Amino acid sequence: MKSPHCFVSLLLCASLLLSAFSGTALATESASVFEFDYAFEDYWYDDEIPASLVGDFPVRSALLMEAESGRILFQKDENKPVPIASVTKVMVTLLIMEAIDSGRVSMDEEVTVSERAASMGGSQVYLEPGEEMKCEDLLKSVIIASANDAAVTLAERVSGSVQAFVVRMNERAKELGMESSSFENPTGLDDNVTNHVTSAYDIALMSRELLKHKKILEYTSIWMDTIRDGAFGLTNTNRLIRFYSGATGLKTGSTSKAKFCISATAERDGMHLIAVIMGAPTRDVRNEAAKTLLDWGFANYFVFSDGGADAGNVRVTGGVSETCACRYGEFSALLESSKRGRITVETELPEELAAPIAAGECVGRVIYKCGDETVGEGGIFAAEGVAKISYGGILMRIIRSFLLI
């Protein structure tokens, strides 16, 4: 058994250690253990974009965008304002989905059709004044069959009137940075409009925003469906849904002014692309041009993903725990296909950390390279929090150590 004199000596030593500790580890504020900034765009390296990619197709404008990053892979007159036809309904659908997600509108609610909505021409599902239809069926009619009467019915339900809905369409366009856009109605009909236009780039912006509502893909990817308890059939105006591998949507449009337009989306191996074609002379030219852009994108790019795994434990000073479990953060980057299978990883993680450490705090860095080229950076994060140890805690730790000698 240890003598009382040894125990007193132990307390004196503990007091000296506490005094020293108070000026070091215990006084350390864990502001940012590891400075880290997710600036993936710093590592985007654009290859020379082939200007002739759709040169064989006589279209007014075109653009190819990767949806997750928003990176433009191809562009042709992308900011030129042009008539948009029913691709207008991408914005209509976006506003409807936002209203549903906010709880202002329910998919299951019955919506009454107005005289104005029932009188719309062009593509329609032949709604009657006073007819009631579920919001979900109206939405399917807009997305699949491009129904103008359904679009107006939903616009009136969301905003109270078509005029108010159009105001919101233009407000939302500004919020998304759609600088070349002006909406005058929710249908895209352009016989009696003066400035109902947008650009390929703006269409990609609102399409990208719509894709953030994952549930919409359940509708945009439908080839055929029915409404009115199976009595009325719907067939998607977007033939790519049936004939292009990975197609997920999104919206077609055509009028004599706009010609044939499309915002075509497709996903393969975790990469979602948006191909916009405006002003094609025929439906077939439009579809072939969109397929050409998508094929080129999938052939030349891929999404590299990593992270989420255990990164081991790091020693902690001045904490209630002597170690902190860490994990690799999720990382993804759009890369050229030539880099596939050539990515190497370098890890920067300190040997020890000073408490307190917050759960989720960035404590290290992962550098992704292809040869000597850095293609991106990811973080290493604390999987658990470690509080700063108190004076009493230090004393008890010393006493326990002494008793175990």
Angle between helices 391-403 and 4-22 (to 10 degrees): 140
pLDDT in tens, 103-135: 999 999 999 999 999 999 899 999 999 999 999
pLDDT in tens, 263-279: 999 999 999 999 999 99
Which pLDDT belongs to residue 404? Answer: 61
CB proximity list for 374: less than 8 A, separation 6 or greater: 43, 367, 368
Distance CA 272, CA 269 (A): 9
Domains with residue ranges and CATH for the chain: 4-30+307-403 (2.60.410.10), 61-300 (3.40.710.10)
Residue 192: pLDDT over 60: yes
Q: What is the mean pLDDT of residues 129-150?
A: 98
115 Cβ contact partners less than 8 Å away, ≥ 6 residues apart:
129
The pLDDT score that the predictor gives to residue 275 is 98
Tell me, what's the pLDDT at 50? Answer: 62
Helices 148-159 and 135-145: angle between axes, nearest 10 degrees: 140
* Residue 340 pLDDT level (bands cut at 50, 70, 90): very high
In the chain, the percentage of residues whose pLDDT exceeds 70 is: 85
Active-site amino acid positions? 86, 89, 146
pLDDT above 50: residue 244: yes
pLDDT number for residue 357: 96
